Every structure is written in structure tokens, then in C-alpha cells.
Amino acid sequence: MPFDDFHVAHMTILGTAFLLALITGFVSRKTNFCTMGAFADWVSTGSTGRMKAWLLAIAVAIAGVVSLEAFGLVDADNASPAYRSSEFAWLQNLLGGFCFGIGMTLASGCGSKMLVRIGGGNLKSLIVVLVIALVAYYMANPFPDTDDTLYSLLFHDWIQPFTIELSGKQDIGTLVAGENHSSTARIVAGVSLVALLLVFIFKEAEFRKQKEQITAGLVIGLAIAGVWLVTSSIKVEADGEALQLSGYVQNWEFLSDSDEHKPASSQSLRPQSFTIINPIGQAFGYAKSGFDNALVTCGLMIVTGILLGSFLHAVITGGFRVEWFASFRDFARHLLGALLMGFGGVLAMGCTFGQAISGISTLSIGSFIAFSGIMLGSALTLKIQYYMIIYTGEASFIDSLRASLADLGLIPNSLRKLDPV
């Protein structure tokens, strides 16, 4: 889809991303789509409705990306984040996902849920997002007058040695069939995974009746595939060649007569995923710069779109209401959750949207590991909270932790002190 003018092409990408996010925010609020809520339902009551909606979004996103990539309309190999990188940062994915899972449970929602709640008037979520923004920004960007980031100070030296350099990309297709046959293998793997997910999701009649949850999964999965499509396929015609916008910016001095409308970086113009945590950090950088238009990115438009979509639904339905922390303990729990989401979301290269749906849609092994970390962190935290409520005043945190680990099959049942609940 080549454009003659870079600015028009760029505005088309930003506008489409905003529209898809607006729809996502509206639908998420209407259907109460929530990853943390899905885990809570599953762990505490065994209800799987919202969990299956999330899995449906994953299935739709995989189907979309695999199909579009087969027709050359999506370029996940050169994406940002680099899900298929040959640098297999498994420990970063696992630890980051684990921290994020704990954080989203303490804060009662992931990054996208926080944006949806802000749109409905929740000031608790606004504080959480501000903390996430600060941490996420400085995880990726240096502090003033230094070259140090939070990542370089706290993580790089000890976690980088665990990164494995693969001979090729880390997606299932390449790992199974090699570079030459990776495209075919991705199609086979993608179709197989989608089929398995759909059978699991729709095998029970109860879920087939839950139209709102089905709608949520379909809409969000399509929105994620849509962002992949628009950021991959929109190009600029230059010297008889259709260039991706990132390539155009890299050669700006040769292709453009002025610096008007020039973005600050070409990185944000590579094929983009629908992700939340890093763009929240980008929003902080945008505000810090004095709202420099050169820093407006696809991610920033996604954050804005979700906020406004949720706000529209709240206003239309009369659901807008201001909420604040119930106590200092409530504030402290949300603050800790925000810190862990900020650190974990950047460390894992994504969140429940960025890794667990967008990343998995590329069939990246690292994304599956991050997803596992998120599930483990959330499930463990929910279990601990549940035990501490049931055994209020009787059990310590360590006792609750041991019982929770035993429930999840991570330690022998003989090591627990609390009876299962």
C-alpha cells in the first residue's frame, strides 16, 4: 500500500492505530475484558469465561498474522519489539513476565485495564499508570546527564549472560524447519495451534452462549492483527521503490527536502505490535519533551485510543465515576504493583497484550515463556492473597506461600502447613 507522501502515510498509520485502540477500549469496558480478572475467575471459582475470551483473542491474532504474513502483508521478522530475534532472552522473558503477573494482580489489572479504568474515572489507575510510565521510560532511556538506564543499572550485567544466541530466529517455524522452510512451518504450526485453541474454547455450550465474551475475543484479536497489518503494509514511494517508513527515515537526508514531519526515530516506524507498557513509557517521554510531535508514535496512539474508547463507553452508559484508594494499604499495594508492571513489562518485552497476544501471534518462543511467567506470577499471587484472607491472623506470608506453591504443584504437598481451600 504505497503512498507518495511520507506525512500522509505516517498519519494514516497513526490514525488507524488510534481507531483500532478506540474500539478496543470501548469493547474492553463494555465486556469487562480483563486478563487479571480472567486469572482471578479461574483460580478462585474455576470460571473460565473471561479466560476463554482472552484465548480467543490469541487464536484470532495468530490466525490473522499467519494468514497476512503468508500473503506478504505482515512483516513480523523485522518487528518492534523484535519478538523473533535470534537473541533468546529466556530469563528476561520469564522473570519479566513473572514480575508483571504479580504486579497486575496487586494493582487489580494489567496496563490495558488501567487505561480502561482511567477512562471510567478511576484515579487509582491513573496513579498506577503514572508510576508505570516513569519506570518504563527509564528502563529504556538514560537518566539525565548519564548513560545509565534502570535496565543497565539493575539487570544487564547479571541477566544478559543467560541470553542464548541462536543460529536463526526464535519462532516455532524456524526452530522446527529451519530458515528455508520456516514460512510453511509457521502456517502449519499456526493453523494447528488455532484449531486446538478453538476446540478448547468452544467445546462447552456454556461459553458458546456468552456473546459478550466472544465479541471481546474477536474484536481484540482483530485489532491486534490490524495493527500488524497497517504498520507492515503502508509504505512510501521513493525513487521508484516502495519503502517501509523506517527505511525512509533512515534515508531522510537523501529523500526529503526538509526536516518537517521527520519522526525522532526510525525504530518506532518498523512493523509494530499492539502493546501497552512501553508506549505508556513513551507517553512520559512525549510529555517530558514538551509534547514534541516528532515523538508521536503508534504506541502513543494506542494508549490514547484505549483511554478515549473507555471514556466514550463510560459517558454513553452513565458509568463514569471517580474512585480513589480505600486506605494507605490499598495505595501501597497498587504502588508495588505498578512498579513491578513497569519493570516486568519492559524486561519481558511486553505485557498481557504485548507478549501474551501480540507476541504469541508471531509464534515466538520467548513470547510463550513470557506468557507462562505472567500466568505463574498472577496465579501464585492470587493464591497467596486467598490463603491470607481465609486464614486471617492464623497464617504467615510464608505459610501462605508454601500452600500456594503446593496447590500449583511446584513443591511437594508434604511441605504445606495450611489445609487446601
- In this structure, are residues 404 and 387 in contact, taking their beta carbons and an 8 Å threshold? yes
Q: Of the candidates 165, 109, 15, 123, which has an alpha carbon nearest to the alpha carbon of residue 374?
A: 109
DSSP β-bridge partners for residue 243: 236
Helix (H) or strand (E) segment spanning residue 242: strand 241-244
pLDDT tens string 134-185: 999 999 999 999 999 999 999 999 999 999 999 999 999 999 999 999 999 9
- CA pair distance 173, 363, nearest whole angstrom: 8
DSSP-derived 3-state class of residue 412: coil
Residues near 201 by beta carbon (within 8 Å), at least 6 away in sequence: 52, 55, 56, 59, 207, 217
Q: Of the candidates 319, 350, 367, 328, which has an alpha carbon nearest to the alpha carbon of residue 111?
A: 350
Cell digits for 356? 501474551
- In this structure, are residues 55 and 352 in contact, taking their beta carbons and an 8 Å threshold? no
The whole-number pLDDT of residue 394 equals 85
Instruction: Report residue 49's pLDDT band, with 50, 70 and 90 as the boundaries.
Output: confident
Instruction: Report residue 284's pLDDT band, with 50, 70 and 90 as the boundaries.
Output: very high
Q: What are the boundaries of each domain within the chain?
A: 2-374
Cα torsion 61, 62, 66, 69 to 10°: value is 40
- CA pair distance 191, 200, nearest whole angstrom: 14
- CA pair distance 186, 175, nearest whole angstrom: 10
- In the DSSP assignment, the letter for residue 418 is S
DSSP-derived 3-state class of residue 272: strand
- In this structure, are residues 363 and 62 in contact, taking their beta carbons and an 8 Å threshold? yes
Which spans in 289-364 are helix H? 298-317, 328-347
Residues near 138 by beta carbon (within 8 Å), at least 6 away in sequence: 149, 150
Highest mean pLDDT among 40-44, 332-336, 383-387: 332-336
pLDDT tens string 345-384: 999 999 999 999 999 999 999 999 999 999 999 999 999 9
- CA pair distance 189, 171, nearest whole angstrom: 10
Cell digits for 307? 483511554
Q: Of the candidates 155, 93, 96, 103, which has an alpha carbon nearest to the alpha carbon of residue 132?
A: 103
| Look-up of cell digits 461459553 | 207
Cis amide prior to 161 (ω within 30 degrees): no
DSSP-derived 3-state class of residue 154: helix
| Look-up of cell digits 543460529 | 167
The whole-number pLDDT of residue 384 equals 93
| Look-up of cell digits 489489572 | 109
Cβ density class 356-383: b for 16+ within 10 Å, e for less: bbbbbbbbbbbbbbbbbbbbbbbbbbbb
- In this structure, are residues 228 and 65 in contact, taking their beta carbons and an 8 Å threshold? yes
pLDDT tens string 72-112: 999 999 998 899 999 999 999 999 999 999 999 999 999 99
The whole-number pLDDT of residue 129 equals 97
Q: What pTM, to 2 d.p., does this model score?
A: 0.95
- In this structure, are residues 379 and 44 in contact, taking their beta carbons and an 8 Å threshold? no
pLDDT at 1 over 80: no
- In this structure, are residues 421 and 386 in contact, taking their beta carbons and an 8 Å threshold? yes
Tell me the CA distances in angstroms from 143 to 117, 341, 349, 398, one per residue in order: 30, 20, 20, 37
Q: In what order do the strands lie in the sheet with 241-244?
A: 2-3, 235-238, 241-244
